[in-house]
Structure formats: structure tokens, C-alpha cells
Amino acid sequence: VGMQIDIVSVFPEYFDVLNLSLFGKAQSKGLVSVHAHNLRDWTHDVHHSVDDTPVGGGAGMVMKPEVWAECLDDLLGLEPQAITADSDTATAIETNTTDESGETDTADNTGDADETGETDTATQNSTLDGTLTDTPSEARRQTPARNLETVLIFPNPSAPLFTQRDATELSHAKRLVFGCGRYEGYDARIPAYYQAQGVDVREYSIGDYVLNGGEVAVSVMLEAITRLLPGFMGNPESIVEESYTGSEALLEHRQYTRPAVWRGMEVPDVLLSGDHGKVDRFRRDEALARTDAIRPDLIEQLDCALLSKADRKT
């Protein structure tokens, strides 16, 4: 079975477009199965309200934790718990929501044991006031590929930046559950609560700007993640040598196609030479020089041991 994807949003129709193009094909091939849920289906009031005024004052509205939790408990198969300040463990809240067998469901993702039998530590940690603290990006960069079970993801402009490394890591997950924020965002205790339940929770920003809602951000992350799934792309080679990819994560060299001269503009001679060694060297030099000029931060993060003598000259 393919990767299971659940998206929670107040505008689930936004994701109808996922039936198109490569993503639509991936669904029919069974590589991914996507369900977009309407958060308002978990409300009980006549207005189906999902937001309330910010505690402490201020403009706008904040998404309420209760309705999100009812939805996410359902999707993750979790029972409601109360988090106590003096204990790491949560205690079950007495409710009538236990299933008919009387058994308590445990999420399939808790424990998150990898093949070595060790328990993975999540890359983000939570505190009781709802702060999801991030492991420094250097440590995240070195996170080895591992088989993830369920990951709960909230787009958030004030979170660490989502990168190709995150996309690669998340492409190994069995199930992704995305929660789209709206208004001024969601109550900070929501991600922190699920982290405290042992769920692998991530908050990511897709860039230094503010969007109206998480739907676009989820679409961006979803596309970056799923195109890495084996069988997703028509030509698997096309994802091997790309910007931000591999241990070096450089920007890619520029691309050209025919004609060799277009409106007086020429393709660089070396690319027409047929000399593969020279073409590779030209492209490598261009990748290094462009990365240095456009994204010096990527050059700073580069492991110098990966550079050859010829690279260093560039």
C-alpha cells in the first residue's frame, strides 16, 4: 500500500486539484491515497465554529483546540488525555468516547521504533505551554533516513523552514496528516499536545512571508515530498541531480535546450562539444559559482571534504 495522506482544512475542496497531473496518476497507481477532511465536520454547534478570540487580546481569531483535537483524535485513533504539569505522562480523560469493545486505541505511530529497535527521538520537542522547540538545523541536516510511521504536520510561518531534506525524510513516512491553519493561526497547544502523546509532530514554514491559510503551504510540501516516492516520476533519474538534493545540496547548473542559437543568444559552446568530461566540469563549476553567488548559506554548510581539487579552484 502507498503513502496515506490526510489533510484537515476548512476548505477541503481546495485539494480537488490533487486529482490532476502526476499526483492524480500516483493516486490511480496506488502510490498515494489522499483524503481531505473538513474540520467543521467535528464541530457540534449550529454555526460550525472553529475559531475564537485570542487570549491576551489582539486582532483576528485563533483556531480552537477542542475541535482540532476531536478531529485529530479520530484520525490518529487516540483517546483524549489530560496533560499534567508535574508528569510527562498524560492521563486519560473520562469520556464516553471509548469504542464499543471498551478497548483503548493506541496510535500506530506511538513509540516510533526503527529497525534497530531503538526509539527515535522526534526532531521537534514540545513544552507544556505549547512551544514546539526545534532541534538546530545542523542536527536536522544530519538526521539519517529512517522509516517513519505517522507524522503530523502543521504549516506555520513562524516555524523552521521546510527544506528538501525534510521532504526527503518525510517521503519515507507511511502516513502524513496535515493540519491547515487559518485566521491568526491555531492554538499553540494543539501540536504540543500531540507531541506529548508520542506523535511525531512537525511545524514548518514554507518561506518568509505570510499566506492566508495553510492550504497552499500543504500543497507545496506535499508536492515536494511525493515526487520523491519511487514510481511517482515518469523518469526516476530526473530527481537525482537537482537543486538542494544529495549530500551537497547545491543549486543546479542552468539548463538549455535546442535551438543552439535562439534570437541571437547562444547555448554555451562546451555543452555542444560532446565531451562528457568537459560538460560535467562546466556544469559543476556553474553549480558551485551560482550557489556561492545566490545562496552563500548553502556553501557555508557544505562539507569541504566533498570538494575535489578542481572544485576548490572554482
Annotated binding site for S-adenosyl-L-methionine: 181, 206-211
The stretch near ligand SAM (CB under 6 A) out of 103-111, 121-129, 149-157, 194-202 is 149-157
Neighbours of 3 (CB within 10 A): 20
For position 189 contacting ligand SAM by CB under 6 A, the verdict is no
Q: How far is the C-alpha of 132 from the C-alpha of 187, rounded, in Å? A: 12
Q: Which three cell numbers stand for residue 165?
A: 531534506
> Cell numbers of 213, please?
491559510
Q: Does 209 bind ligand SAM (CB under 6 A)?
A: yes
Nearer to ligand SAM, 7 or 271 (CB): 7
- Contact status: 58 vs ligand SAM (CB under 6 A): no
CA atoms within 13 A on the CB side of 255: 7
Binding residue numbers: 181, 206-211
Q: Which residue's entry shows cell 484520525?
A: 75
Q: Does residue 205 bind ligand SAM (CB under 6 A)?
A: yes
**Residue 124 binds to ligand SAM (criterion: CB under 6 A):** no
Q: Where are the beta strands (DSSP E) in 11-146?
A: 32-38, 51-52, 62-63, 81-83, 90-92, 124-126, 132-134
- Which residues does 203 contact at the CB level (< 8 Å), separation at least 6? 124, 132, 153, 154, 155, 156, 159, 160, 191
Count Cβ atoms within 10 A of the Cβ of residue 186 and give its class: 0-12 exposed, 13-18 middle, 19 or more buried: buried
- Binds ligand SAM by CB under 6 A, chosen from 9, 156, 226, 291: 156
33 touches 2 (CB < 8 A)? yes
Among 157, 284, 295, 314, binds ligand SAM (CB under 6 A): 157
Q: Residue 135 contacts by C-beta under 8 Å, 6 or more apart in sequence?
A: 123, 124, 125
Chosen residue from 206, 224, 225, 249 binding ligand SAM by CB under 6 A: 206
Asked if 210 interacts with ligand SAM (CB under 6 A), we say yes
Alpha helices in 206-301 (DSSP H): 214-226, 276-294, 296-301
Query: Counting contacts by CB under 6 A, is residue 213 touching ligand SAM?
Result: yes
Which one of the spans 190-198, 206-214, 227-235, 274-282 is the region binding ligand SAM (CB under 6 A)? Answer: 206-214
Of the pair 213, 268, the CB lying nearest ligand SAM is at 213
Least spacing, CB of residue 152 vs ligand SAM, in Å: 13
130 counts as binding ligand SAM under rule CB under 6 A? no
Segment interacting with ligand SAM, rule: CB under 6 A, options 66-74, 91-99, 174-182, 284-292? 174-182
Positions in the binding site for ligand SAM (CB under 6 A): 155-158, 180-182, 184-186, 205-207, 209-214, 217
